[in-house]
Structure 1
């Protein structure tokens, strides 16, 4: 009864598709036009990818920091170590560049060597005032030379902030307005105003200039993602169409398949706009992914159609059977693939949820498009000619099929030995896998802005902001000399950490105030004593009225202080070591009952998110395995068959993980997707093989050997075709300039190739070796649904 229902349902679907072709075409056209209009709502991510849930402690701590002090990633830096800077002509050009930058409404303030100011003591009334260090109106060579000598020697407050006295590198820092840093206006400003300004400066001046800062890095990185989407889509289309044509030798079949997946890509972009999801490094992968997954659907449908035409030549009957015979199996394989992606929906990461939702929706959409478009288009075309069917009997593919059958028949011991050896080696490799949450690691290393990052790491100890927020638990607690001494002690500990720049805080300002009190003598750049603090009290109070003043370092109540430093591009493991060094010192210096000290910043939030992703990888992969096991149980109603079907799909995942350990590819946000994606796709081969195997079992009265080999011969060709398409399709991602995307493409390609071999060699070998306990009539009960029907003519009577 279930079998009749399954066949009857798909027969009903087939008749409705073929009888309502015009209506279906109009509906698809209407949906496509509607989704095309949604493209205008597509938006790009203007903030760092936050993998953590909003209620995660590290997120709440960072939110509290932003509430007190604003964004920590709003600075754009222009730097040079060119000795020619300190000549009148070059210095004026450098100052004009900064002044022009300051005129933009998106910029809050600009500080550099051209406009540095010094604290100057005044007696009546007692106060500090700010005065320019250099009179920039009349710049002579003598002035510039004297200024250069004085700058690196007399103003330690600016050392590490505006210049590096050791490397003689100087920088201009432009602070963007907080309202624009994480908004669309940032991209417009950077790409349309800032970049042309820098390019113009480089053309007119011979000075070597380096640009960095989080707003600049994030914008150029996002632009690279946008630029790569079109190349991914075009490359995926080109590669898959070439492979498709190589297999089928038919321009007609190739063009029909390309049309199907192109519409799928249009829908993918439309769903992005419709759902309001941002284009990130993850969601940018989906359009080409739809091409790669959609082409195998086309291969199964067109291959079946051509087989039917070759068998009996009746076009109407062939199209009917394409839908009734392949529709069910293709639905199941697409559902399992979508399930692999859908498991990300159950994570608490908004980034992964959006990726999971979008990917699973589009995978089901490309299945529907394939099932509708291919039969309808072929129904309006004449039947394929003999030249279109020649590929069905190619000798080279027949040779591959016979090799597979020979291996399973005569070399099962070798297959088991190889599988066990691979498993052991892979487990060894897994213990070498490292976790990396580097914010910059996946960025295109050949890009100019990445080279500039390395320049800043060398000259200023990094560009990634890291913050320490100190809560003194009382108003004006920051300005207490005891607090300042503790902060200075912590600063000494931080200076010992090679990966961090010297911190900038109110301590620096307090030291500078003492230097100014002693007529700017640099030897007095140190914390005042308690007695000196009393004398300096009226001067220090006057600093609140100065522009910038204390507000950059402490909040309005004087209860909270910040210590800002920059961090080199380090791995998650390295930042953990940094925390292990710092946190005990912080606890020792700042007693918990009197202070609450928080380590925060964008870079730290990103790093913590990587560990969260690793935990979610285990959860999502376990869910994928459980979900697909339930599919197997529902389809085959055999617990033993669930176990045997999972083995050839889990082994490739373990093998890939081991390969990552040996090659040195770390677990990171980009590579973490490999396992769920590959598992969801590779299990399709298992479903196709087991469905055909059960059909052969019934036809051969439950004789195992007479069933495995026919099933293997019939499914090997389609499995080989689809695996090759998937292998080269995912290899397209290896053209990316993003290291993570390259690793994702290479790892998924390798995993799917391993999975194909495991399903063609290991799975049938296990069935043959364990025939008495697993593959018999008792365990292979009547399935809940009929994936492949047995006798065509009998069913249609």
Structure 2
């Protein structure tokens, strides 16, 4: 009797709330408008980020190692130009152009250093004198002999080949270091614009050459451009598709307009919230309005279809609105809360943009939930109905599906087999992140990177900072010998294209000091000899050409830079692990860790995946508890976990078999979608439980449930999956994976709810 009493009290409370909302619909509409206006004002504060380091948290050890490396050596933003010809461009004309390009590069704002073959400081002996000068003099005209000389020197230099010149001499590189953006006179967007203008100018002047530009500045700006592109194209496209699907599926113009108003309001509020919070948008957060849009739509659909069904039965509009709000109040509230919880648990993420996306979307969902209750009743009650025949599966067909799923033997076994195959597919998944490959070929940043890698040098760098023994400098012969041993080993590794090390510079200088003898290309046997050679070299360097990029100020540390070609995130991670293991085993006195933005990205996905395990457990506990409280039945609450957990397992298993690679966006899908897929289960279980308590048997309760909510589930699933599928059209790989996996999860969730859940209810006799 106590249970019945509580259930009766619960229905009474729902009835009172629904009656109050519908009776005071004008007041709630005005209140919703005020909330929307305040939230939307944040749009004026909205901004976009141009820094890929925003993907890392302040406590991330890998990116902190990069920052420490920059503090130890030289910190700068970078630009990389590549000049590529169809054939050998180590000609008088090609070198003259390179010299002019190098000189013009110095004219860009905030330039600290420009490196190219033209100004490479070559050392040679002239009798008893040691000459250190740029490879190309500034004023003289270049002839064939000059070109041959430069080519011979450049192509035999380990400091130039695969970095500033291609081994077949059909490409040159110009590397530019800039004042860090926080101290620069112009921002990154302006610098990127000027760099691209320089590229376009030279492309026009030298149509026989291909000019490419990349570097950290261009990469950061491309992140900004990707975010704005998705905001401008994908969000409006998703809005258009979802509203069209709603129009066809709802069968009522007024219901469609109400849904559109709520959806648009929630979307604007989401962006406004980001502005108020000072969250600078990057591609991962720029698609937040898209997610909010399709999820808010789901709540509206259940209300509008319930109202349309009653209107088709010729009910009074006021009564139809009241009964619809009462019928859906609990289910819509629970689904919105569980979805918001799922997104809020993204705050466990190691990557701030993904955590921010979770917060932004959760806020948008809550606002959408409020607007659903504040806007819909007034429009449904007072606007012209304008109903027409909708496009969806008839109710009697859904009842047949319920009976089929309830009595068809073997369905549970079939899903069990699919789960086993999915678990095997999970073993095929590998974490693979590379910031350079986040962009598809619709971005010039990606196509220029690919061209530079093909013709000149690699675009991924891994750094090692070696500490000289206490009381010694980096010129200690024993220390340099250990660094040189590691250098020789590194050069044998797969995908390693170039190694920049102080030992190569010292070997060249010692060879020059020894008169250029071939067998004297080696380190000096004393610390004093190496130090004197470097001092002589540095005293001859022009302004902006110091050695601080390789050695720290007090010359107690040196940096070794390894350039990889064609390396993805997995390759970078494996190279870093092999290198660290080799140092520990062979040169433990100088053992250190691999450092670099590429290394940090390659580890971020793994770190994030581990962090999201806690997020998944949290959302699992919270949502399950909320489901159990809503159903007032522990067994039904536990049963509801089956169709909620299984879709993610099946989706990732399928992804493992078909795609294999996952990135940062993939790692949050399980936590994020758990709150989404619960929506369908909530509506089924709440209606089913309500009918069972009224005395209906299992089949009758399920058939009535499918007739009542089945259409809404299918319409919302199609709308949500369509919205997230549009995200796969992003040019940014994180959004592609996030959209693709979420789409698969939602589609599979619909199948598990409509087919597996009835079979489980039959097996458990609930």
TM-score in same-fold range (> 0.5): yes
Can you list the C-alpha shifts for 1:379-426, whole angstroms capped at 9, x where unaligned?
A: 4423x25xx0543xx784346414413422442x13223212211211
Q: 2:303 aligns with which of 290, 301, 304?
A: 301
2:509 pairs with 1:507: no
Match of 1:358 in 2: 360
- Over 3 Å counting, the alpha-carbon distance change for 1:576 and 1:173 in structure 2 is closer
Match of 2:578 in 1: 581
Local SS of the residue matching 1:74: strand
Q: 2:744 aligns with which of 727, 750, 756?
A: 750
* Kept after mapping to 2: 8 A contact 1:42/1:277: yes
Q: 2:643 aligns with which of 627, 644, 648?
A: 648
2:116 pairs with 1:119: no
Local SS of the residue matching 1:210: strand
Local SS of the residue matching 1:282: helix
- Over 3 Å counting, the alpha-carbon distance change for 1:184 and 1:258 in structure 2 is farther
Q: 2:556 aligns with which of 552, 559, 562?
A: 559
2:725 pairs with 1:731: yes
Local SS of the residue matching 2:196: helix
Match of 2:758 in 1: 764
Offset, 1:314: 2.1
Local SS of the residue matching 1:372: helix
Q: 1:483 aligns with which of 463, 468, 479?
A: 479
Offset, 1:538: 4.1
Local SS of the residue matching 1:501: strand
- Over 3 Å counting, the alpha-carbon distance change for 1:579 and 1:537 in structure 2 is closer
| Higher mean displacement: 558-567 or 159-168 | 159-168
Q: 2:134 aligns with which of 121, 132, 135?
A: 132
Offset, 1:528: 3.1
In 2, Cα distance between equivalents of 1:588 and 1:409: 62
In 2, Cα distance between equivalents of 1:516 and 1:652: 68
Q: Aligned ranges for residues 374-413 of structure 1 at < 5 Å?
A: 374-382=376-384, 384-385=385-386, 388=387, 390-391=389-390, 396-398=393-395, 400-411=397-408, 413=409
2:698 pairs with 1:704: yes
Q: Aligned ranges for residues 102-251 of structure 1 at < 5 Å?
A: 102-119=106-123, 130-142=132-144, 145-153=147-155, 155-166=157-168, 168-180=170-182, 185-190=187-192, 192-206=193-207, 207-251=209-253
Q: 1:666 aligns with which of 657, 661, 665?
A: 661
Can you list the C-alpha shifts for 1:201-231, whole angstroms capped at 9, x where unaligned?
A: 2233211122222322332243123212221
Can you list the C-alpha shifts for 1:106-133, whole angstroms capped at 9, x where unaligned?
A: 3222122333332366999x8x664232
Match of 1:498 in 2: 494
Can you list the C-alpha shifts for 1:319-352, whole angstroms capped at 9, x where unaligned?
A: 3333333222111101111111111223454333
Local SS of the residue matching 1:276: coil
* Kept after mapping to 2: 8 A contact 1:500/1:565: yes
In 2, Cα distance between equivalents of 1:397 and 1:312: 19
- Over 3 Å counting, the alpha-carbon distance change for 1:323 and 1:107 in structure 2 is farther
Runs of 4+, deviation exceeding 6 Å: 121-124, 181-184
In 2, Cα distance between equivalents of 1:47 and 1:137: 39
Offset, 1:488: 1.0
In 2, Cα distance between equivalents of 1:448 and 1:260: 38
| Higher mean displacement: 669-678 or 250-259 | 250-259
- Over 3 Å counting, the alpha-carbon distance change for 1:606 and 1:182 in structure 2 is farther
In 1, Cα distance between equivalents of 2:508 and 2:617: 58
| Higher mean displacement: 362-371 or 100-109 | 100-109
Can you list the C-alpha shifts for 1:736-775, whole angstroms capped at 9, x where unaligned?
A: 223342232222222211111111111122222321xxx2
In 2, Cα distance between equivalents of 1:7 and 1:417: 38
Match of 1:570 in 2: 567
Local SS of the residue matching 1:561: strand
- Over 3 Å counting, the alpha-carbon distance change for 1:358 and 1:473 in structure 2 is farther
In the alignment, structure 1 segments of 5+ residues that lack a partner are 776-797
2:686 pairs with 1:691: yes
Match of 1:601 in 2: 596
Q: Aligned ranges for residues 455-494 of structure 1 at < 5 Å?
A: 455-474=451-470, 476-494=472-490
* Kept after mapping to 2: 8 A contact 1:730/1:746: yes
**Alignment root-mean-square deviation, CA:** 2.9
> Size of the alignment, in residue pairs?
758
- Over 3 Å counting, the alpha-carbon distance change for 1:93 and 1:528 in structure 2 is closer
Match of 1:780 in 2: none
Match of 2:264 in 1: 262
Local SS of the residue matching 1:78: strand
Match of 2:70 in 1: 66
* Kept after mapping to 1: 8 A contact 2:91/2:144: no
Match of 2:347 in 1: 345
* Kept after mapping to 2: 8 A contact 1:73/1:465: no
Match of 1:276 in 2: 278
Offset, 1:17: 4.4
| Higher mean displacement: 173-182 or 671-680 | 173-182
Can you list the C-alpha shifts for 1:610-652, whole angstroms capped at 9, x where unaligned?
A: 1101212322222222211111221223332222111122222
Offset, 1:660: 1.2
